[in-house]
Chain A
Amino acid sequence: MNNEEYFEAKPKDNLKIANENLKSRLLVGTGKFANNQVMNKAIASSESQVVTMALRRIDFDSEQENVLNFIPKGCILLPNTSGARTADEAVRIAKIARAAGCGNWIKIEVIKDNKYLLPDNYETIKATEILAKDGFVVLPYMSPDLMVAKQLVEVGAAAVMPLGAPIGSNQGLQTKEMIRILINEISLPIIVDAGIGKPSQAAEAMELGAAAVLVNTAIATAKNPVLMAEAFRDAVKAGRTAYLAGPGATKDYADASSPLTGFLNNQSE
């Protein structure tokens, strides 16, 4: 079987969010790039199909500065509520985004803490409930907590987006054990959002069983964002493939290929 035949034979492994079947499990952000042209190339190179951007930063009046004009065609827009400090503000931003033609996907970010940018889970649940009832596809960004994730499922979230580490920190999966619990216990896709700084960390999240990862700072602030986007694309694919392949169990002791007690079997022969 050659490569092509193998991939054709491999069952489709799409990520389903709401009614969308996504081939790519890498979501990307649009902030912090040195210019919109580089951002455009990086998104293209990432092969991501879902692109998030802060509604507050979109300048609808300016052709040149409007970030929407630089998002590759065919991508699903995921406006986020960055800047919202309460559920009410997040809801207002979501509705403006929809009215402005950004579709009905929304990433909830309710952040009151400007020092560490940690989300307010309580307000996030409230906003998710209101917007889900209003027909939005709601992807809430949250501090990993099982009870909160369960509530988000109950109130109608389309996926749950726990942070791996504080936004922009590039510290990787600092919350790994909590994310592992969410992956095991929550039926919705778990998308690791924030903190991933290197492709290897994205691969780690995917090997763990995350449905997808969202990356912005690590790509936008790399020396070569376009190349870094490509690296993340490959890492996410590799991590996912490894997860599907089912890695062998980790053990605290060596499993010798010539077992110490092998002579017992030999004796019985």
Chain B
Amino acid sequence: MDFYRMSQQYDELNIERYLNSIDDQDVINAINKQHLNELDYLALLSPSADKYLEQMAKRARELTIQHFGRTIGLYTPLYLADYCVNQCAYCSFNSQQQFKRNKLTLQDLEKEAGAISKTGLKHILVLTGESRSKTPVSYIKECIVLLKKYFSSISIEIYPLDVEEYKELVDVGVDGLTIYQEVYNEEIYRQVHLKGPKKDYHYRLNAAERGCVAGMRSVNIGTLLGLGDFYSEAFYTGLHANYLQTKYIDVEVGVSLPRLRPFKGAFQPRTTVSDQQLVQMMLALRLYLPRVGINISTRETAKLRDAILPLGVTKMSAGVSTKVGGHSGNEEASNQFDISDERSVEEMMEMIYQNNYQPVLKDWHLFR
């Protein structure tokens, strides 16, 4: 049974009505349970849980320190190319956007890798737009081989692949996969993915599972907060993470909580996810899935990232550029989206130490 079929059992659940039926006692019970089920998780996401955020935060902090210690993993994204054949309503790389597209040569990539490597980071996330013709798997493989000289752990955030293709990348040294469903609601998914292969909801939904099958050590999922109804999207994200963690016990499952950010285009988010909701989702996730990784990117402000550091986060990006060649000084390329927290790796490390946590630049090494 794949995740889609598993999640269908909740089709009958009227989430809005269920959320309204949650009372204080349901929330208190969920906070104090050792093993939470899906409905406990939903209780913690509910409006009734608003006034219990402090208790949730205390529990979330305890669980995070217990399982991950006082550590925050750091990584940075590296954009290989911004060519894209999709028309996603919310993204600057949308094929309809007119700007000079870029793709790194291996020489460019070496400069980029060298620049990042100087910061001390050993973990990177390699990104491309979705264009199989401009950035085929063969090109990505060449890049990975080069990057292995510089980094101990390489994750990818690229267009979804078949199991065999993921395996090819695992074989050359990729150990992590990040793939966001963007929005779990199928109807909204259809509306915001106007053209291109990304319109295939099911192929994208099952990509995370294909990565697990292919031998990825870590798989990171997420919904783009703002595209769909907050409660429902947060709920299905948790269900998906639990599904993967339970079925693929050898995979480290992580969840990102990206909120929509300004980009080139006029798309307006359907909903605005408040800071409080973002925090509530993070705390609920931690209580529901104590060992899941939680990633907060530079989409969020420095102030917010500093404040939520002790509440459940396990990974943060640092020294970020969302443009192709951005680490080695390419000023001509376009950002995929505007970031909020522009601090360097050094500044992030300093902040983390100030908060009595340890920044972890190297947490994994693929020994082959």
A248-264 interface mask toward B, CB cutoff 8 Å, 1 = contact, 0 = none? 00000000000000000
A113 to B253, CA, bound (A): 12
Q: What is the interface residue range for chain A against chain B? A: 20 to 34
A99-115 interface mask toward B, CB cutoff 8 Å, 1 = contact, 0 = none? 00000000000001111
Interface centre among A55, A93, A168 (most CB of B within 10 A): A168
Chain A: minimal CB distance from B123 (Å): 11
A65 to B74, CA, bound (A): 13
Q: Which of A35, A65, A112 contacts B362 (CB 8 A)?
A: A65
Chain A: minimal CB distance from B213 (Å): 14
Scan residues 18-70 of chain B and give those whose CB is less than 8 A from a CB of chain A: 65-70
Known: A34-B357, A85-B250, A113-B249. 20 other contacts (CB 8 A): A32-B71, A34-B356, A35-B358, A36-B358, A55-B365, A55-B367, A56-B152, A56-B362, A56-B364, A56-B365, A57-B364, A62-B120, A83-B217, A83-B364, A112-B250, A114-B245, A114-B250, A114-B251, A217-B66, A217-B69
Chain A: minimal CB distance from B26 (Å): 25
A221 adjacent to chain B (CB < 8 Å): yes
Is A59 in contact with B362, judged by CB distance below 8 angstroms?
yes
CB-CB nearest in chain A for B250: A112
Is B367 in contact with A221, judged by CB distance below 8 angstroms?
no
Is A221 in contact with B363, judged by CB distance below 8 angstroms?
no
Chain A: minimal CB distance from B175 (Å): 10
CB-CB nearest in chain A for B362: A59
- Write out the residue numbers on chain A whose beta carbons fall within 8 Å of the beta carbon of B252: 114
Is B66 in contact with A57, judged by CB distance below 8 angstroms?
no
Number of residues on chain B facing chain A (CB within 8 A) = 31
Question: A92 with B67: in contact, given A114-B251, A115-B249 (CB under 8 Å)?
Answer: no
Scan residues 51-90 of chain A and give those whose CB is less than 8 A from a CB of chain B: 55-59, 62, 64-65, 83, 85, 89
- Write out the residue numbers on chain A whose beta carbons fall within 8 Å of the beta carbon of B250: 85, 112-114
- 10 interchain residue pairs of minimum CB distance: A32-B69, A34-B70, A59-B362, A112-B250, A113-B249, A56-B365, A221-B65, A34-B356, A92-B367, A35-B358
A80 to B220, CA, bound (A): 26
Question: A57 with B362: in contact, given A34-B357, A89-B367, A114-B245 (CB under 8 Å)?
Answer: yes
Scan residues 4-48 of chain A and give those whose CB is less than 8 A from a CB of chain B: 31-36
Question: A114 with B253: in contact, given A58-B362, A65-B120, A89-B367 (CB under 8 Å)?
Answer: yes
A62 to B368, CA, bound (A): 21
- Write out the residue numbers on chain B whose beta carbons fall within 8 Å of the beta carbon of A125: none
- Write out the residue numbers on chain B whose beta carbons fall within 8 Å of the beta carbon of A244: none
Is A92 in contact with B368, judged by CB distance below 8 angstroms?
yes
Chain A: minimal CB distance from B207 (Å): 19
Chain B: minimal CB distance from A111 (Å): 8
- Write out the residue numbers on chain A whose beta carbons fall within 8 Å of the beta carbon of B67: 168
Chain A: minimal CB distance from B250 (Å): 4
A36 to B349, CA, bound (A): 13
**Chain B residues near A (Cβ < 8 Å):** 65-71, 120, 122, 152, 217, 245-246, 249-253, 291, 353, 356-358, 360-365, 367-368
Is A33 in contact with B358, judged by CB distance below 8 angstroms?
yes
Interface centre among B68, B71, B358 (most CB of A within 10 A): B358
A-B contact pairs, 12 of them (CB 8 A): A31-B69, A32-B68, A55-B365, A56-B365, A57-B360, A62-B120, A92-B368, A96-B367, A112-B250, A114-B251, A168-B67, A221-B66
A21 to B133, CA, bound (A): 64
Chain A: minimal CB distance from B171 (Å): 15
Interface centre among A58, A114, A217, A220 (most CB of B within 10 A): A114
Q: Which of A33, A57, A93, A115 contacts B363 (CB 8 A)?
A: A57
Instruction: Say what secondary structure dominates the interface of chain A.
Output: loop
A11 to B367, CA, bound (A): 45
A169 to B217, CA, bound (A): 23
A241 adjacent to chain B (CB < 8 Å): no
- Write out the residue numbers on chain B whose beta carbons fall within 8 Å of the beta carbon of A64: 120
A170 adjacent to chain B (CB < 8 Å): yes
A36 to B356, CA, bound (A): 11
- Write out the residue numbers on chain B whose beta carbons fall within 8 Å of the beta carbon of A217: 66, 69
A62 to B363, CA, bound (A): 13
- Write out the residue numbers on chain A whose beta carbons fall within 8 Å of the beta carbon of B364: 56-57, 83
A35 to B69, CA, bound (A): 11
- Write out the residue numbers on chain B whose beta carbons fall within 8 Å of the beta carbon of A89: 367
Q: Which of B70, B122, B361, B362 contacts A33 (CB 8 A)?
A: B70
Question: A221 with B69: in contact, given A114-B245, A114-B252, A115-B291 (CB under 8 Å)?
Answer: yes
Chain A: minimal CB distance from B110 (Å): 18
A38 to B236, CA, bound (A): 40
Q: Which of B66, B152, B357, B362 contacts A168 (CB 8 A)?
A: B66
Chain A: minimal CB distance from B284 (Å): 18
Chain A: minimal CB distance from B77 (Å): 20
Chain A: minimal CB distance from B212 (Å): 11
Is B65 in contact with A65, judged by CB distance below 8 angstroms?
no
A35 to B66, CA, bound (A): 16
Chain A: minimal CB distance from B96 (Å): 41
A252 to B368, CA, bound (A): 57
- Write out the residue numbers on chain B whose beta carbons fall within 8 Å of the beta carbon of A93: 367
